[in-house]
Amino acid sequence: MRPSFKAVRRGGLEMSDPLNVLTKKTPRQFDQAGSPRSVGWTRAHRVRLADEKNPLPLDCGKTIAPVDVEYEIYGKLNRARDNAILICHALSGDAHAAGWSADAGRLGRPWLKNRPGWWDVMIGPGKAFDTDKYCVICSNILGSCYGTTGPSSIDPETGRPYGLRFPVVTVGDWVRLQERLISHLGIDRLLAVAGGSLGGQQALEWALAYPDRVESAIIIASAARLSDQGLAFNVVARNAIMTDPNFKDGDYYGGPTPGRGLEVARMLGHITYLSETSMENKFGRRFCNGEGPGFHLGVDFEVEGYLRHQGKAFVERFDANSYLYITRAMDYYDASAWGEGDLDKACRRIESRLLLVSFSSDWLYSPAHTKELALALGRARKRVSYANIESSYGHDAFLLEVEKLSHLVRCFLGEGVAE
Amino acid sequence: MRPSFKAVRRGGLEMSDPLNVLTKKTPRQFDQAGSPRSVGWTRAHRVRLADEKNPLPLDCGKTIAPVDVEYEIYGKLNRARDNAILICHALSGDAHAAGWSADAGRLGRPWLKNRPGWWDVMIGPGKAFDTDKYCVICSNILGSCYGTTGPSSIDPETGRPYGLRFPVVTVGDWVRLQERLISHLGIDRLLAVAGGSLGGQQALEWALAYPDRVESAIIIASAARLSDQGLAFNVVARNAIMTDPNFKDGDYYGGPTPGRGLEVARMLGHITYLSETSMENKFGRRFCNGEGPGFHLGVDFEVEGYLRHQGKAFVERFDANSYLYITRAMDYYDASAWGEGDLDKACRRIESRLLLVSFSSDWLYSPAHTKELALALGRARKRVSYANIESSYGHDAFLLEVEKLSHLVRCFLGEGVAE
């Protein structure tokens, strides 16, 4: 079956039919990419959005150039150019939000070969973000390690990777760069900006920073700011990375990487993405040997094996310095800064409609914090809808509670039709 | 003012009046040690409870010898020897549960100089564990680093510190060793065994392992087993320690210690001891400079400074290998093992009265888990009282909610008198 692939060749958008690479794919991938509900094979695009003449100003007071941005596009931009939806990814995400990457080999990211984009369940023909109707764009954030400029990029001043000489970036900086991308693509106004977790904070920041350029914001499993507890977890994660003997103040490129430290950081992250209940359901204190304690300090419980596996897999695909910078941006984000510390005042800037969704067992961005934002928006008399979805999946629910979330997103986008 | 010190010189119990060291103390300590509600200056005792002829059998199947135990005693054992209460400490605790140590210098533990024992608020003349009535005993657990044999002790087989050659120990092993101590002190039956957190699990294990030797058990902020989530935090903590370049498979004695890794582990621990609310109340996302973001990766938020401080202070006083072994014992503990995995069946062994206390915001040993144990005890028709104390302090509440906890303990011990 040939993938139902939609070529978009207009206004800076280009997505070539990648049938030439299909033979390298497994039959399973072929089937999935060809499914009527998949966006099919996808290509990563890269564009330079800041250079010496037009550097990107940053919240820290510095500027940065050059800045390249990697992005993907699914669906077709209409003539009025008013059907674009920007999807914002979270901490460890990338621009490959949907479909099957035809570029895994070219980009040197083998892990992309065996799985669809990170929000494929939500983006595609007939899905919540319906690529038959909308033009869905996702770009990699500044400071990350997936094609957009980050700490592993070459610092033009030294000719070597930035490492910790990379400037500290913020959610505001990410959105400022996304605005350049949207302008580059010839889009004046986004129909929606959407994201979960740190992606939700980017959606919120869009509504605050560019109130006239975004019709609606979909903010999932997120809040106006991270709690002190969440902040503390990030502190521990960063310290674990910096403790690794290979960290070398961030100048490890070309040599062994601080993989052990990054592994520990990711293990910790995974605990905060799950809920106590989902962990109990998933592992139930079971031993790897299926019997009882092995009386050693190595991997003995299933939960240990799971965390180690997740940690090791992450090290294969992520840059430790990017983890430092992105968690720092997560720490610093506080929407109330738009109102000199007063969230209600900040919310008054917003002109978009907003959908806020939390999940009952999420304790990283808990329902209480999402609700706090919803109430502030309400007091500012904004058009806000807030829903708390009952779920045992914890923070990860924004990737898993597809049915309930899809229903809410559809209704909000003006369709209101169940699948 | 002379400390109101009670010498106990009978039946193996000896606590000499340490007035000779008073001159080295600060006036403030002198006042506090002399307070009518302090047990005063305390001495650490050490006794060998296992040797080659009589090694201690361990749950892992091995035996260990020699085993020395450090303990302290407050109050006086009566003629009937039936007023003894054993206090069990948690992960990072020691035998110095109350009063002011007269041995800080001799033991090489300077941190003991400026603070009273870890449960001083609960133990003393007129306090919940009233040393005018009870003889209160606290001993350091096997595998720790405060005077009882542990990984930093000399392995008689090699003449060098055990390091990771130390056997994996369990809560059951700790209690087996405590039983030897109690017998050594000439006590047949304990009036009570009490503890919080991992100390509560020791109290529970006493009731299960020695049903005829313990009148009552006071189990605070604890449960029949740790949740998968709690287990996962321990996994991350151990991995952080093992990632430290100075760890060297545990053979770091005599050289630099894996302090960075232990610091990370302790920082993580502190997050689990507080609640989201208590962290918010304590730090409120405030910056160290009192203003706004410094745009760097170092310590910028107050919560970061706090965690780093706690981590660094811990490294000065704790052994990383002990942290590995004690968290492992915490992982392995499961009271249902006494009933072949059936907690109700396990509970049927118990003959003691039991008091269970949880704290509403504790998420390390959450009220749900304490209640699960209380219900199992109820189904087994045991004399159990369970109370959930409203508190925002999280797990640390067992050290902080003194008034409410004291009231419950007094009532349970048969006094029922408010202060």
- Cβ neighbours of residue A163 under 8 Å, at least 6 residues apart? A151, A249, A250, A251, A252, A253, A321
The closest CB to that of A267, out of B170, B236, B331, belongs to B236
Q: Distance (Å, rounded) from C-alpha B176 to C-alpha B182?
A: 10
pLDDT at B195: 98
What are the C-alpha distances in Å from B182 to residues A161, B83, B172, B176, B206? 63, 12, 15, 10, 12
When pLDDT is averaged across residues A219-223 and rounded to a whole number, the result is 98
**In the predicted model, what is the mean pLDDT of residues B28-42?**
86
Q: Which residue of A228, A338, A372 is the best one to mutate when testing the B interface, meaning the one whose CB has the most B CBs within 10 A?
A: A228
Cβ B232–A276 below 8 Å, yes or no?
no
pLDDT at A12 over 80: no
Would the pLDDT of B269 be above 90? yes
Q: Which helix (H) or strand (E) holds B243?
A: helix B228-243
Q: Is the pLDDT of residue A366 over 70?
A: yes
From the list B295, B308, B325, which residue is nearest A60 (CB)?
A: B295
Q: Does the pLDDT of residue B418 top 50, yes or no?
A: no
- Whether residue A396 is annotated as binding a ligand: the answer is yes
**Catalytic: which of A197, A278, A336, A406?**
A197
pLDDT digit string, tens, across residues A82-135: 999 999 999 999 999 999 999 999 999 999 998 999 999 999 999 999 999 999
CATH topology of domain B230-327: Rna Polymerase Sigma Factor; Chain: A (1.10.1740)
Burial class (CB in 10 A: 0-12, 13-18, 19+), A141: buried
Per-residue confidence (pLDDT) for residue A26, from 0 to 100:
64
Closest CA to A109 of A42, A9, A16, A47: A42
Give the end-to-end CA distance of chain A in Å, rounded to a whole number.
24
By the 8 A CB rule, do A175 and A183 touch?
no
Which residues in chain B are contacts of A260 at CB distance < 8 A? Answer: 239, 242-243
B285 → closest Cβ in A228, A297, A366? A228
Q: Does A235 touch chain B (CB under 8 A)?
A: yes
d(CA A17, CA A33) in angstroms, rounded, equals: 12
Q: What angle do CA B55, B61, B67 make, to 5 degrees?
A: 25
A301 contacts B59? CB cut-off 8 A: no
CB contact, 8 Å: B312 with chain A? Answer: no
DSSP state of A401: -
Does residue A7 register a pLDDT over 60? no
B180 marked among binding-site residues: no
What count of CB pairs under 8 Å joins A to B? Answer: 161
Please tell me the predicted confidence (pLDDT) of residue B3.
34
pLDDT computed for residue A224 by the predictor: 98
Q: pLDDT per residue over A136-171, tens digit each?
A: 999 999 999 999 999 999 999 999 999 999 999 999
Quote the CA–CA distance of B272 and A395 in Å, as a whole number.
18
- B184, HSE (Cβ side, Cα atoms, 13 Å): 20
Report CA B57 to chain centroid distance, whole Å. 22
* Segment among A2-11, A81-90, A306-315, B333-342 with least mean pLDDT: A2-11
Domain ranges for chain A, please list them. Answer: 9-225+334-412, 230-327
Compute the radius of gyration of chain A from its Cα atoms. 21
Per-residue pLDDT tens digits for A19-43: 333 445 566 777 788 888 999 999 9
Q: Is the pLDDT of residue B112 over 80?
A: yes
CATH architecture of residue range(s) B9-226+335-412: 3-Layer(aba) Sandwich (3.40)
Chain A residue with Cα closest to B325: A297
Average of per-residue pLDDT values in chain A: 92
Length of chain B counted residue by residue: 419
- For residue B332, give the nearest of A60, A228, A293 by CB distance: A293
In the stretch 56-95 of chain B, residues with CB closer than 8 A to chain A read 59-61
Mutation to test the A interface, candidates B260, B295, B308, most A Cβ within 10 Å = B295
**Pick among 3.40.47.10, 3.40.50.300, 3.90.1150.10, 3.40.50.1820: CATH of A9-225+334-412:** 3.40.50.1820
Structure tokens at B347: 């509970």
Helix (H, G, I), strand (E, B) or coil at A304: helix
Q: pLDDT grade, residue B5 (50/70/90)?
A: very low
- Phi/psi for B413 (5° steps) reads -75, 5
Split at pLDDT 50, 70, 90, the class of A9 is very low
Is some CB atom of chain A closer than 8 A to the CB atom of B267? yes
**Is the preceding peptide bond at A66 cis, omega within 30 degrees of 0?**
yes
Burial class for B268, CB neighbours closer than 10 Å (0-12, 13-18, 19+): buried
Contact status of B320 with chain A (Cβ, < 8 Å): no
